[in-house]
Amino acid sequence: MKYSKYILFVTIAFLVSCKQNTKTQIETPKQVEITLTKLWETDTLLKTCEAVRYDSEKNIIYVSNIGGVPPSEKDGDGSMSIINLEGKIINQNWVTGIDAPKGVSYFKNKLYVTDIDNVAKIDLETGVIEKKYTVENSVFLNDLDIDTNGDVYFTDSRDDKIYKLVNDDISLWLDLKGVNPNGILVENDRILVVSFSVGDFIAIDKKTQERTVIANGIVGGDGIVPVKDGYLVSSWKGEVYFVGSNTSNTKAVKVLDTKDQNLNAADIGIIPNKNILLVPTFFGNKVIAYKINTSYK
């Protein structure tokens, strides 16, 4: 009987050891390589296009156009456009009556857009601006994202803050002095931001607000989109970087550089089911689409 127990113990220990070794092999970091292949570009009619967002329900793409510069000028010449998945401009002036729209996202048939010192709520069916939420003491509202509850988070790049809009009420969510936050991506348990001046790509815990620098060196950081193995982060001057998640890519790796073409890379978007990256080129006045190709080493 004692001998049988010994055999059983050895067998269990062996199985546990095998399971642990298998788990270790599965979690071994892999090297990911991202390349981008150009698919199409729009006409150059999108005046100072800043941000793009794909609407998976309507299968269209929203584009925010600042219009005349500087991008902090209340000149009333901003607009929202709609393009299709082949790059054709369906409605160039879908929404007007805004100054310098930037960050864009939607929730339950409403589109939310930052516009210097306010957030505009737009009905997706009519294109009518239903309400403008003024953000007291704000300086330069920039990127915007929405969580699964419908809570709207947005950055003030020139005043180092993240605000939150919930049930028509705006509150300061976090003061990020010295960070100069631009791009923002809201996840289940954390919020990701990229600094425009410092170039840090930062994760912020939603509950504790503890910060962790994921990567750095993305000076001019503008937009963030999730991809299968991490994130693509744009730099306004005309670059896109890949930052790995659970891979051996611990540093930001440049995957696109259009500076020599005088094309910026502003607040990027993604069509996830097609692995297509959307790049608004700001002064280039057009959106360019790239196929995201992934390989492993």
Q: What is the DSSP letter of 281?
A: -
The DSSP H or E segment spanning 153 is strand 152-156
193, 115: one domain: yes
Using pLDDT thresholds of 50, 70 and 90, give the confidence band for residue 297.
confident
Same domain, 25 and 79: no
CA atoms within 13 A on the CB side of 187: 15
249 pLDDT above the threshold of 70:
no
Per-residue b or e along 66-78, where b marks 16 or more CB atoms closer than 10 Å to that residue's CB: bbeeebeeeeebb
Residues 140 and 13 in one domain: no
Q: Which are the contacts of 108, defined by CB distance < 8 A and separation ≥ 6?
A: 150
Same domain, 187 and 204: yes
Q: Find the mean pLDDT for residues 81-87.
A: 98
| Beta-bridge partner residues of 63 | 52, 81
243, 267: one domain? yes
Same domain flag for 25 and 112: no
pLDDT at 131: 97
Does the pLDDT value for residue 11 go beyond 70? Answer: no
Q: Is the pLDDT of residue 10 over 60?
A: no
Distance CA 176, CA 6 (A): 60
What global pTM score does this model have? 0.89
Spatial distance between the Cα atoms of 251 and 210, rounded to a whole number of angstroms: 21
End-to-end CA distance of the chain: 51
Is it the case that residue 105 has pLDDT exceeding 70?
A: yes
Distance CA 107, CA 96 (A): 20
* Same domain assignment for residues 78 and 211: yes
pLDDT reading at 152 higher than 60 = yes
- pLDDT reading at 24 higher than 70: no
Q: What CA–CA distance (Å, rounded) separates 232 from 178?
A: 23
* Complete DSSP assignment for 55-72: ETTTTEEEEEE--SSSTT
Provide the domain limits for residue 4.
1-30
Number of domains in the chain: 2
Average pLDDT, stretch 51-79?
97
Q: What is the pLDDT of residue 30?
A: 76
The chain-wide mean pLDDT, for the chain, equals 91
Q: Which of 72-86, 87-101, 237-251, 275-289 has the lowest mean pLDDT?
A: 237-251
Do residues 14 and 96 share a domain?
Answer: no
Do 228 and 273 sit in the same domain of this protein? yes
Q: Is 107 exposed, middle or buried (0-12, 13-18, 19+ CB in 10 A)?
A: middle
Query: 197 near 214, Cβ under 8 Å?
Result: no
**pLDDT of 7 strictly over 70:** no
Confidence of residue 63 (pLDDT cuts 50, 70, 90): very high
| The CA-based dihedral angle spanning residues 56, 106, 159, 264, taken in that order and rounded to the nearest 10 degrees | 30
Beta-carbon contacts of 131 under 8 Å, excluding residues fewer than 6 positions away, are 120, 121, 168
Examine the domain organization and report whether 23 and 37 are in the same domain: no
Asked if residue 139 and residue 213 are part of one domain, the reply reads: yes
Residues 23 and 97 in one domain: no
- Residue 273 maps to which CATH number? 2.120.10.30
In tens, the pLDDT along 160-196 reads: 999 999 999 999 999 999 999 999 999 999 999 999 9
